[in-house]
Structure formats: structure tokens, C-alpha cells
Structure 1
Amino acid sequence: MLDSNLKQQLTTYLQNIKTPVELSLSLDDSAKARELSSLAREIVELSDRITLTENGTASGRVPSLGVAPAGQAPRVEFAGVPMGHEFTSLVLALLQAGGHPAKAEAALLDQVRNLEGEYRFETFISLSCQNCPDVVQALNLMAVLNPNISHVMIDGALFQDEVGKRNVMAVPSVFLNGEPFGQGRMTLAEIVNKVDTGAAARQAEALAEKAPYDVLVVGGGPAGAAAAIYAARKGIRTGVVADRFGGQVMDTVGIENFISVRATEGPKLAANLEQHVLDYDVDLMTAQQARKLSRKALVEIELENGAVLKSRSVILATGARWRELNVPGEQEYRGKGVAYCPHCDGPLFKGRKVAVIGGGNSGIEAAIDLAGIVEHVTVLEFGGELRADEVLQRKARSMTNIEIITSAQTTEVLGDGQRVSGLRYTDRNSGESRDIALAGIFVQIGLVPNTEWLKGDIELSRHGEIVVGSRGETSVPGVFAAGDVTTVPYKQIIISMGAGATAALGAFDYLIRESVDDTEQAA
């Protein structure tokens, strides 16, 4: 199961285990059970602090692996073989069960420990999903910290019957005490705040008491991270407020054009960005959304929870999100067959027919990836020809289970009330309306800037992007912007980082000049 390099790395990590850990196996005679048994036994051989039993696991799913401090019933369980993106989740579960401290804010960890009531979490994942490990690791940590919490990771590709019965059409899908709890990426803070009903009010009160910043960055993607680092290095009071750290990078699988880094993955790059920011004196506030910008004596950012943060200057780096079709049925069947991440949700459609909407690079790359999993892929492109690079087009056309339809305008998502059953499109050449029977629809038609909350308060382009100058300045004095949310062309990670640095330097120059102006006026 594990090659020599991975065993060597794992041996090093397992040295951090402080107290004994016990693994519990639940097996049958299937190939996956033998694979899981082999993985568990290899891990046990690498550490004398880990033991193995075959007493079964609490959920009764087979095959499954439980992880717990020795002598305790396992509250962390992996139903399936936790390899791929979930191997890190397994390693962290071993370390945390063995007493290795978690990397999270002390106040948040205490909040988990103090949760009252019983919480039985189940998370359906796919091993190719780069969003799933964050959710799995957060819930595993909660289960380690609080004896009233348990968590089971379930590989949806392995437990297809359960996926069908529970109508799981997107990953990660989280259930709490048997009822749907949430879909998509969620941070530890977001999960805890959702179950701790009094958290929002307490956080709003604490945020409102914060002293004004010199630079407040709104957004935690590459642009926001670069801006925060450059501002903090100037020795000025710097804060970052963001819904989640990493932004769209967290949804990016392979990154091969980030100069000096030959290849990496989005979540890994995002984690490195966050750690770099935290190396400086930066006040990082996550799980927070901005809803209003006002220019008064200071620039004020009002958050969704009602708190108001104040700063002498602000850098807007709120990024972008997947563009939606905006057709009937899309929202009704979102997460029930309508998806935006082929890497995450593709395995749930194994052996079935799907469509990809969009003929650009992302759309054709999605079709190629999906073709290796599903029965058939139909690509629908609005224009008269594909916009993807020629090399991608050639690859797609060479695959026998990919059909490409151009001049096709998607007009409706069809379903049976529970899940997607197809889509309707109009042939733009003939005007004829046609239906396609499908199990899933993957939307890949570009990005839209996150600026709805800024309309009327700052100058936006006709595409909704923040209009910026050469130093990142906007139409509002003291307010700068950077990254995919702006009019800067070419939405790339490296360009966003450069723009973030530019905006921070622009803000610092603004603060210097503002201080001089204030001094002159006082004289």
C-alpha cells in the first residue's frame, strides 16, 4: 500500500504520538477490506504506540477503520480506504488521538470542548475531492476533543447503495444525527458556529470591540494574503477578514504554472499562504462575510453578524466564484445533480451520463476527466466553436464517450423533484428545443466577481469588477482592491499575488501622504 518514501515520511510524523493509539477494523472478504487491512497493519509496523484490533466499528459499515486513544471506543471512523486526499485526514486523526495538539485557535478548541448534547456526524466524500479533507479533518478533531461527538468519513464510491438511499449528489455532504447538515467545504469555525447557536452574537461583540486598523484586508485568497504580508512588513496594524482562507485556490486541483514551484495543489498552496500570513503580526478573522462598505472619518466594513470594523485604509480582495447558468431548475437541483466541481463530485456519477456546460479550458478539462469515470459526457458550448486550447480539443475529440455540441444555449435543468434527470437546450442555429437525459450537470462557464455588496458604494465595471488604477486605488479614497475581483486582466494566482502587493504598497503610500496632510492642516 505505502511506498518506501511515504513510509519514511509517515514514520517521522508518527513520532509525534505521545500516548497509545488503538485502531479497530471492521472487515469482510472484499478486495477493499483486504486493502484497508493491509494499510492498517503497515501503519502499526511503523510505531510501537499504535495497536490493532478487529473488534469492529460503531457504525457497522464494512470495511471501516476506527481510530481512538487506547482503551476508548473509537469516535473517529473511516468507512472505506482513506487514501488519496484523505490520507492526510488519517494521519492527523492518528496524531490527535495520540495527544498531538491541533493547529487551531485556543478559543475555538475550547468552544468545541464545551459543546453540550450529542452530535453524530457522517460525511460522504470522494477520494478525488480536494474540498472534502478540510471537512473530514475538522469533524475528526471535534470528535477527538469532545466525547459527545463522533464522526464517520464515508467513501461514496464504495457505499453506493447508501449514497442512493440518502440522495447524496455532491461531496462533501454532511449529516448530523441522521439529518442533512451541510454540503461543500466548511471550516472548523463554520461547523462549530453552526451548532453553537450563541456563537454569532459573541463573535460580533468581540469584533466590534477591536481597535481601528491601519490596513484592513477583506478577503483571504492569494491577493489578500500578499496584501496582508506586504502591509504587515511595514510595521502597521494589519487585519484580514474573510469568509474562508484560500478563496478559489482551495477549489483548484493541479497548479503547474506558479513560478518556482513545479507542481502543487490548491489546498496545499492555501495552507502555505495562511501560515506565511500568520508568521507576521496580522489579526486574521475567518468565517466572516462583509455586507457594507462606508467611507466616514475612517473606512468602515460592516459584517453579516452586525459588527463594524474600522480602518484608515482597506484593501478589497474578495475574489470571484463560479458563474451560474441562471436557468430554471438550477438552484432547485444544486447539489442534487447540478455541480460545479468535477473533481469533487465526478465519482458519484460513475457509469452514468452527464453534461458539461462550457467549452473553454475548464469545461474541456472537466469533460476529459469525467470521461474516465462516467458512461458518457455531453459538452454544450454556447458559441459556434470551442474556446479551449487546441491540445485539449484534440484530446476530447479522440475520446469515444465525449460528444461536443456547439451553438447550444442551455435553457432549463430538468428533474424528478429529487434529482436531475436531464437538461433542455436550444439549438441556436435552428431554434429547435431539445432535451438530453442525464444524471448530472457540471457548470464550467467562468467566474463572477464577489461585488454585490459593494454596488452603489464604489465604481464597478459593466461586468461587476472593481475599477482600479495602477496602484490598486479605487473610486473611494483610502480603499484599494486587488485580484480577481478587479478589472486587472488575466485571472491568475501569480497575477493576483502581485496585485495584492501593489495594493498594499499603494495603501501604505496613501497612509504616509494622509499623515503629512493631517500634520500640515494641524499647523
Structure 2
Amino acid sequence: MLDANLKTQLKSYLEKVSRPIEIVASLDDSAKSQELQALLDDIASLSERVTVVERRGDQERKPSFSIGEPGKESGIRFAGIPMGHEFTSLVLALLQVGGHPVKLDDAVIEQIRELDGDYQFETYFSLSCQNCPEVVQALNVMALINPRIRHVAIDGAVFQNEVEARQIMAVPTMFLNGEVFGQGRSGVKEILAKLDTGAGARAAKELAKKPVFDVLIVGGGPAGAAAAIYSARKGIKTGVVAERFGGQVLDTLAIENFVSVQETEGPKFATALEQHVKSYEVDIMDVQRAEALVPGRINEVRLANGAVLKAKTIVLATGARWREINVPGEREYRNHGVAYCPHCDGPL
């Protein structure tokens, strides 16, 4: 199933695993189950710490498999064959279940652990969707941290009957406990903000403690990042408030027109932007939506959660949106028949 190059790469990754991993596969006699069985056998052959258990006749989707510790119920499941863009999600799930550290702030990890309730997530993806892996990886890591969270990542092309029954017309589409939870690219912080109903009030309380900034930048795209870097390098007390750091770049797969960078990908570029900004003393306040600007001797930016940030100077770098053709129904039917990405939504 895996070519020699992928096997070599995966073998080197699995050498980082520090504890046993059990993959429990739910299979039937279909061709897709045979493909999945071949993939899982390849994975198991690359590490002594990985074992595969086959089950037939159970109630799980077929083909599908869970990844967890031996003898423990797992909250991470893939339905279908996670190749294409989702192969990275599979590798990360193996590494994280196998003991590789999760790359999240301690405060975010604690917030996930403290979520009160039982959460059954289902995410529908397509293998050619570049936005889907972030959602799949975010929910997988949340399921790893909190045993009351369970997540199934479902290949819509394999389970077309479910896609049609649930009238899914765009990916990624998330369901929580059987109801639509969200569509489009989302990370851990965005998902947490929707789940943790008290998060907004707590965030507003903490933001209220912020001192007056010399420069406050509204927007976390390339322009906002550049403004933050230039300000911070001058020793100016600088803050950035953004709904999502990286902005529209996060939704772009290939970037080939950024001077000096011959080719890169949007999410990779956005990560580099954030790392560059964080190398200076810049206060980044993300997952915060600005709603109003109140000019004055000390300017104010009012946020959706009720908090108010103050600064002597405001830089507006609010970015752009995808072009619309302005026909009736375009906005109302977005993700319900109107799509903007053939890679993501074409397979549906």
C-alpha cells in the first residue's frame, strides 16, 4: 500500500514512539477494507510498538480503525483510508498516541481537560482538501487529552451514502452529537471557543487587564505581521488582535508569488509569520474578533466578547475576502451548494 519512500519516512517517525500503540480495524469483505488492511499491515511492519487487531461484525463503520493504547478505549477513529492530505493526520495520531508531546500551550491543554460534557465529533473530509487536516488533527488531539471527547474522521468519498443523507456539500464539515457544529478550517482554539461557553467571559476579563499599547494592530495576516515586526523592532510596546493569525493565507494551498520564497503553502507560511512575530515582544491576542473602533486621545478597539483594548496608535490590517460575483443566494447558500474550492468540495 505504501511505496518505499513513504515507508522509509514513516519508519523514521515511528522510531520516536515511546509506548505501545494498538490499531483496531473494523473490516468487511469490500475492496476498500482490503486496501485499509494492507495499509495497516504496512504500518505495523515498521515498528514493534504497533499492533493491529481486526474485528468483523461489529457496529463501527467499515472500513475504519481506531488508534489507542492497548486495552484502553480510544477516542480517535478514521473511517476510510487516510491518504492524500490526511496521511499527515494519521502519522500525527500515531505519534501522539505513542507518547510524542502534543504541541499546545499548557493553558490550552488544561482548558481541554476541564471541558464538562460528553462530545461525539464526526468530521467529513476529502483526501484532496488542504483545509481538512487542521480540523481532523485538532479534534484528534482533543480526544487524546480528554477521554470524554471522541472523534471520527470520515472520508466522504467512501461513505457517500452518509454525505447524501446529511446533505453535506462542503468539507470539512463537523458534527457534534449528531448536529452540525461547523464548516471550514478550524483549529483547537476556535473549536474550544465554541465548546467552552465561559471562555469568552474569561478572555474578556483577562484582556481588560491589558495596559495601553503604543501600537495595536488589528489583523493577523501578512500585513499585520509586518506591522508588528517593524513596531517591535523599534522598541515600541506592540499588540496584535486577530480573529485567526495568518488570515486568508491559511486557506491558500500554493503560494508562488511571495518574493524570495519560490514556493510554499499557506498554513506553513502563516506558521512562519507567527513564529517571526513571536520572536519579538509582541502581545498576540488571537481568536478575538474586533467589532468597533473608537478614536480619541487614547483609541479603543471593542471586541465581540465585550472587552476593550486601548492604544495610542491603531494600525488596521484587516485583510481581504474571497471575491464574490454578487448574485442572489450566493451568501445564503455558501457551503450548501456554493463552493469556492474544487480540491475540497469537488469530490462531493
Question: TM-score surpassing 0.5?
Answer: yes
Q: How does 1:480-491 map to 2 (within 5 A)?
A: none
Segment drifting more, 9-18 vs 36-45: 9-18
Q: Secondary structure at the match of 2:16?
A: coil
Segment drifting more, 113-122 vs 69-78: 69-78
Question: Amino acid of the residue matched to residue 306 of structure 1?
Answer: G
Q: Secondary structure at the match of 2:293?
A: strand
Unaligned runs of 5+ in 1: 349-523
**Residue 341, structure 1, aligned to residue 341, structure 2:** yes
RMSD: 2.0
1:18 and 1:98 in contact (8 A); partners too: yes
Shift of 1:298: 2.4
Shift of 1:57: 10
Question: Amino acid of the residue matched to residue 186 of structure 2?
Answer: M
Residue number in structure 2 paired with 1:193 = 193
1:225 and 1:273 in contact (8 A); partners too: yes
Encode CA deviations 1:464-512: one digit per residue, 9 max, x unaligned. xxxxxxxxxxxxxxxxxxxxxxxxxxxxxxxxxxxxxxxxxxxxxxxxx
Q: How does 1:5-154 map to 2 (within 5 A)?
A: 5-55=5-55, 60-154=60-154
Shift of 1:116: 1.3
Assess, with a 3 A threshold, how the Cα gap between structure 1 residues 54 and 233 changes in structure 2: closer, same or farther.
Answer: farther
Shift of 1:300: 1.8
Assess, with a 3 A threshold, how the Cα gap between structure 1 residues 227 and 15 changes in structure 2: closer, same or farther.
Answer: farther
Encode CA deviations 1:383-402: one digit per residue, 9 max, x unaligned. xxxxxxxxxxxxxxxxxxxx
Q: Secondary structure at the match of 1:285?
A: strand
Segment drifting more, 271-280 vs 165-174: 271-280
How many angstroms apart in 1 are the aligned matches of 2:241 and 2:147? Answer: 32
Assess, with a 3 A threshold, how the Cα gap between structure 1 residues 165 and 238 changes in structure 2: closer, same or farther.
Answer: same
Question: Amino acid of the residue matched to residue 189 of structure 2?
Answer: A
Shift of 1:59: 6.5
How many angstroms apart in 1 are the aligned matches of 2:15 and 2:193? Answer: 33
Q: Secondary structure at the match of 2:55?
A: coil
Deviation beyond 4 Å, 4+ runs, structure 1: 56-59
1:25 and 1:57 in contact (8 A); partners too: no
Residue number in structure 2 paired with 1:306 = 306
Shift of 1:256: 2.4
How many angstroms apart in 2 are the aligned matches of 1:298 and 1:334? Answer: 39
Residue number in structure 2 paired with 1:176 = 176
Question: Amino acid of the residue matched to residue 114 of structure 1?
Answer: E
Shift of 1:83: 1.3
**Residue 159, structure 1, aligned to residue 159, structure 2:** yes
Shift of 1:24: 1.4
Q: Secondary structure at the match of 1:54?
A: strand
Question: Amino acid of the residue matched to residue 215 of structure 2?
Answer: V
1:187 and 1:244 in contact (8 A); partners too: no
How many angstroms apart in 1 are the aligned matches of 2:278 and 2:11? Answer: 28
Task: Give identity over the alignment, percent.
Answer: 62
How many angstroms apart in 1 are the aligned matches of 2:214 and 2:205? Answer: 21
Residue number in structure 2 paired with 1:266 = 266
Residue number in structure 2 paired with 1:254 = 254
How many angstroms apart in 1 are the aligned matches of 2:149 and 2:196? Answer: 13
- By relative contact order (CA 8 Å, sep 6+), the higher-ranking structure is 2
Q: How does 1:319-358 map to 2 (within 5 A)?
A: 319-348=319-348
Q: Secondary structure at the match of 1:336?
A: coil
Residue number in structure 2 paired with 1:457 = none
**Residue 233, structure 1, aligned to residue 236, structure 2:** no
Shift of 1:213: 2.1
Assess, with a 3 A threshold, how the Cα gap between structure 1 residues 31 and 200 changes in structure 2: closer, same or farther.
Answer: same
2:241 and 2:284 in contact (8 A); partners too: yes
Shift of 1:56: 6.2
Compute the TM-score of the two structures, normalised by the length of structure 2.
0.93
Compute the TM-score of the two structures, normalised by the length of structure 1.
0.63
Assess, with a 3 A threshold, how the Cα gap between structure 1 residues 59 and 167 changes in structure 2: closer, same or farther.
Answer: farther
2:17 and 2:100 in contact (8 A); partners too: yes
- Would you say how many aligned residue pairs link Structure 1 and Structure 2? 348
How many angstroms apart in 1 are the aligned matches of 2:257 and 2:187? Answer: 27
